[in-house]
Amino acid sequence: AEELLINSEKLSIAGQLAAGIAHEIRNPITAIKGFMQLLRSGRTEKPMYFDIISSEIERIEMILSELLILAKPQLIHTERKDIQILLRQVTTLLESQANMNNVQIVTEFEPCATYVLGDENQLKQVCINFIKNAIEAMPHGGKIQIQLNRTNVDTILLRFIDQGCGVPEHILAKLGQPFLTTKETGTGLGFMVSKKIIENHNGTIKVSSVENEGTTIEVCLPAAK
Ligand code: ADP
Ligand code: MG
């Protein structure tokens, strides 16, 4: 009976996700169709419509690439990776986006071994998602602290601390559900995908947030030898 319950629960989650995907992808498709029709009628500002169509296609691509991470069967490329090096690469990648938004990324890494067993690309995706959310939470700029240390012999502790708007209470309770977003162009998938990846790595995640003060995302991952 318990197994049946688990199965029906899985089904309803799959159903929920399917409905969400259908809805999220139908919107840009409707827009693309509409602008294609306008283009065909030939009495329009063409360049602008091409821009809109490409950005709507990009949106569909973004949704699909985030969903594909979920479809991957557990971990595929498990390697011994230094989280510290990975974080340096990710912060370099996001530096210009941070600068453009007057956001300063400060890394506070303890001098200790920070190896984990995992999929490099997936772990990078997690860090990118959290740093992007932090940047987006600070429209007037601010500081993101990235702290890395070991709590004990077998756990690596990673924190992303921002001084942003904070996660609204009604969102905080539901974080991890798909298509949950407060942003005009958000997908509401980044957090869910990140949480899933961390769980696939036998890690845990904790969010604490105070409105208009900031948010701390705390990630624990098992340390590799
Ligand atoms: P998206 O960024 O596309 O909106 P996410 O899944 O990454 O989707 O995040 C879901 C929502 O959680 C965001 O829309 C935002 O409301 C909230 N959120 C996540 N991270 C933060 C943060 N660091 N500060 C404030 N709000 C956040
Ligand atoms: Mg996001």
Q: Can you give the pLDDT at residue 44?
A: 63
Q: Can you give the pLDDT at residue 225?
A: 83
Q: Can you give the pLDDT at residue 13?
A: 66
Does residue 35 line the site of ligand 1, with CB under 6 A?
A: no
- Could you list the pLDDT tens digit for every one of the 225 residues in the chain? 555 555 565 656 677 777 778 888 888 899 899 888 888 887 666 778 888 899 899 889 888 887 877 776 555 678 999 999 999 999 999 999 999 999 999 999 999 999 999 988 889 989 999 999 999 999 999 999 999 999 888 999 999 999 999 999 999 999 988 889 999 888 888 999 899 889 989 999 999 999 999 999 999 999 998
8 Å CB contact between 173 and 185? no
Considering every ligand atom, which ligand is closest to the CA of 194?
A: 1
CA separation (Å) from 40 to 58, 94, 145? Answer: 21, 39, 50
In one-letter notation, the amino acid at residue 75 is L
In b/e form, how buried is each residue of 117-149, taking b as 16+ CB within 10 angstroms?
Answer: bbbeebbbbbbbbbbebbbbbbeeebbbbbbbe
Q: Can you give the pLDDT at residue 74?
A: 59
From the CA of 134, give the closest atom in ligand 1. 23
Which residue's CA lies nearest to atom 7 of ligand 1?
190
Whole-number Å distance, alpha carbon 129 to ligand 2 midpoint, is 5
Does residue 15 line the site of ligand 1, with CB under 6 A?
A: no
Ligand 2 (single-atom ion) residues, CB below 5 Å: 133, 190
Task: Provide the whole-model pTM.
Answer: 0.83
Residue 152, number of CB atoms within 10 A of its CB: 8
Residues in the chain: 225
From the CA of 188, give the closest atom in ligand 1. 8
User: DSSP labels for the chain?
Assistant: -HHHHHHHHHHHHHHHHHHHHHHHHHHHHHHHHHHHHHHHHT-S-HHHHHHHHHHHHHHHHHHHHHHHHHHS-S-SS-EEEEHHHHHHHHHHHHHHHHHHTTEEEEEEE-SS--EEEE-HHHHHHHHHHHHHHHHHT-TT-EEEEEEEEEEETTEEEEEEEE-SS---HHHHTTBTBTT---STT--S-HHHHHHHHHHHTT-EEEEEEETTTEEEEEEEEEBP-
- Write the ipTM: 0.99
**C-alpha closest to that of 91 among 75, 109, 70, 105:** 105
Whole-number Å distance, alpha carbon 38 to ligand 2 midpoint, is 32
From the CA of 166, give the closest atom in ligand 1. 25
